[in-house]
Amino acid sequence: MAVASPTRTDRWLFGPLPDLLFGCGLLYAIAFAAHAVAGPAIRSATPSFLLPLLILALSTPHYGGTLVRVYDQRRDRQAYAVFAVWVTLALIALFFVALQNTLLASLLFTLYLTWSPWHCTGQNYGIAVMFLRRRGVAVTPLAKRWLYAAFILSFLLTAIVSHLEVGSAYSPLAYSSQTVAFVPLGITRGVGDVVLPILGAGYLVSLAVVAVLLRRAASWRDLVPTFALVLTQALWFSLPFSVHYWHWQTGLEPLDAQQKLSNYLMMIFIGHGLQYLWITTYYARASGHWDGYANYWAKAAASGIAIWTLPAVLIDPSGFLSGPGRAGGLFEVIATFVNLHHFVLDGAIWKLRNSRIASVLIRSAPEAEGEAAPRSPWLRRLAWSIAGAGLASGLAGYYMTQFYVPNAIARGDLDRAERGVVLARWLGSDEPALRDRLVERFTEKGEIERAAAHAERLVALRADGKTYALLGDVLVARHQPDAARAAFETAVEKGAQRLDRVHLSLARLALERGEDAAAAAHYREAIRLMPTSRTVANDFAWLLATSADPAVRDVATATAAAEALVKVDEQPLHLDTLAAAYAAAGRFDDAIRTASRAAELAESRNDSARLADIRRNLDRYRARQTAAR
């Protein structure tokens, strides 16, 4: 990275405001602060389509910024032929192998998620050095080493926390489908407790030392961009990973609210994408092939969106897949190879020690044109036509998934919504959340086969706990209890979001099979997960009162639970359960009185089905009372 100190020219690329906001990441810091103060209010006021739109418009094109840089000009393609052609072809071949091999796909997915923070870290460090050089700051080798150490230690903190043993590893990037999974190295907590404090201390010391060394060489004003990038690095990686590991409660939602990680992850993607487009746009403008900001964004967007959408368009509907891609991992495999290709090209071309790069980013000198290489117009037109098709597909898919289908579902037009999700699939934008809603709506309407078709597609699209829980509901409605139980058990294994509901369903299926002990175990787990649920408490109390299995029957506990329910909410269902508990204890007078009250309430509420059940139970209590006398 050693570059001669430049002549002091322009201190900024585009100006103080855009450079600090986009290049140095202060826009993310502002968003972070706003969410720390009013996160819930901001989220509730943010339209659901906004973050995906920003990802589409800003994050996805940043991949295109590198593609344009390498492939748009023949001179660049030739200069980076090893990476642009041969490494790319090797990655494409590996991509198709990974589509068929879950282990390989998972290992490469892990490599991508581990490399991703390093990619962002390297970019933050490179831009920090660039700003020092542009300002003519005489950065000594010692100061440069300490600055580099700070960024490296930040990454190491991130990597170690990400690779803790299974069950405690943390990676906000690990949006695994459970088919293609993040595979941590399995670093033990004991090792982490020793290593992380050392790395943390080294990180803080390196920041302090570099601040002193740089302050000796420059004014605070000259150091603002570099320190802003140090802050960005901390907000993206050092702080959230440290907070998670040590279980700190900072009072700042972006750090504490682990269940909202996807929102903040998308914000980081957007921040990194903006940063990347900011610097690649400046370089393109100074390269001598500039056609304006709109044209450059269109090129970057077309190529960046195409590389994400076209693989899904060509592979998914074709039925080619049989490995992890067919079992819920296609998106992860595509994400892995898009990013690995991006990381390889980025590492090859954006080096300040490269005189062409340094002449533009540090000295603001136009890039030397050199002799124009002959072109192949038809090949160029073909490439941009394909990229344009990918852009059109991505934009159409965004419209279908963010507006067309959600609006159709909101209006209750499920036929139109179903056609929309099918078309979105062919556009490479099959959105699982929309399939979730269709499964739920079709199940509610009793159109079980249509619900089943979407549930089965979800298994192929996103084979996680939520998917198997929905599939279990559909199979229950289909009167396939054994298959439903298998689906719910898989949902438990994969950690469904609403495990309480899954255990409740498993308990009811166990009751149908006469397995009271298994049902009781699932009820206990459901109560542990959902202690305030009156439905679960009532069902469990009924089982404890009426079970024929002496190992399960617990009349005292059933009576206490039912009395507590009636005290909180006197309704026919709870009174019926309390009456059953009284009868099980031989308190037939109390059982008859309680059941009679339940019948009165059910009749007043016109609950004929409940009333019939209560009256049957009441007759039994009276008969047992007579027999007991």
Residues 336-356 have pLDDT tens digits of 999 999 999 998 887 756 666
What is the average pLDDT across 78-97?
89
43: containing domain: 16-367
Is residue 531 in a domain?
Answer: yes
Quick one: which H or E segment has residue 80?
A: none
Say whether pLDDT at 374 is over 60. no
Whether residue 439 is found in the same domain as residue 348? no
Say whether pLDDT at 2 is over 50. no
Whether residue 434 is found in the same domain as residue 556? no
Token pair in block for residue 597: 């009250």
Whether residue 20 is found in the same domain as residue 76? yes
Whether residue 354 is found in the same domain as residue 435? no
Whether residue 338 is found in the same domain as residue 430? no
Say whether pLDDT at 282 is over 70. yes
Is residue 389 in a domain?
Answer: no
| Residue that terminates a domain, selected from 367, 387, 413 | 367
Range of lowest pLDDT (156-170, 284-298, 312-326, 491-505): 312-326
Is residue 386 in a domain?
Answer: no
Whether residue 180 is found in the same domain as residue 306? yes
Neighbours of 625 (CB within 10 A): 16
Say whether pLDDT at 488 is over 70. yes
pTM of the model: 0.82
Q: What percent of the chain shows pLDDT beyond 90? A: 61
* pLDDT confidence of residue 78: 80
* pLDDT confidence of residue 244: 87
Per-residue CA distances from 447 to 272, 417, 476, 583 (Å) = 44, 15, 13, 41
* pLDDT confidence of residue 83: 86
Is residue 177 in a domain?
Answer: yes
Range of lowest pLDDT (156-160, 353-357, 445-449, 476-480): 353-357
| Residue that terminates a domain, selected from 318, 350, 367 | 367
In sequence order, the β-bridge partners of residue 365 are none
Whether residue 617 is found in the same domain as residue 580? yes
Of residues 230 and 499, more confidently modeled? 230
CA–CA dist 320, 72 (Å, integer): 31
Is residue 510 in a domain?
Answer: no
Whether residue 295 is found in the same domain as residue 420? no
* pLDDT confidence of residue 4: 39
Digit-coded pLDDT (tens) for 311-338? 988 887 655 554 444 445 788 889 999 9
Per-residue CA distances from 430 to 396, 424, 427 (Å) = 12, 5, 8
Q: Which of 482, 528, 530 is nearest to 506 (CA)?
A: 482
Is residue 449 in a domain?
Answer: yes
Say whether pLDDT at 224 is over 60. yes
Whether residue 486 is found in the same domain as residue 444? yes
Is residue 294 in a domain?
Answer: yes
pLDDT band at 409 (very low <50, low <70, confident <90, very high): very high
Cα-based angle 58, 62, 67 (whole degrees, multiple of 5): 145
Is residue 392 in a domain?
Answer: no
Report the domain count for the chain: 3
Per-residue CA distances from 292 to 325, 449, 544 (Å) = 39, 53, 74
Whether residue 159 is found in the same domain as residue 246? yes
Whether residue 164 is found in the same domain as residue 234? yes
User: What is the overall mean pLDDT for the chain?
Assistant: 87
Whether residue 445 is found in the same domain as residue 308? no
Helix axes 239-246, 189-217, angle to 10 degrees: 150
| Residue that terminates a domain, selected from 497, 532, 547 | 497
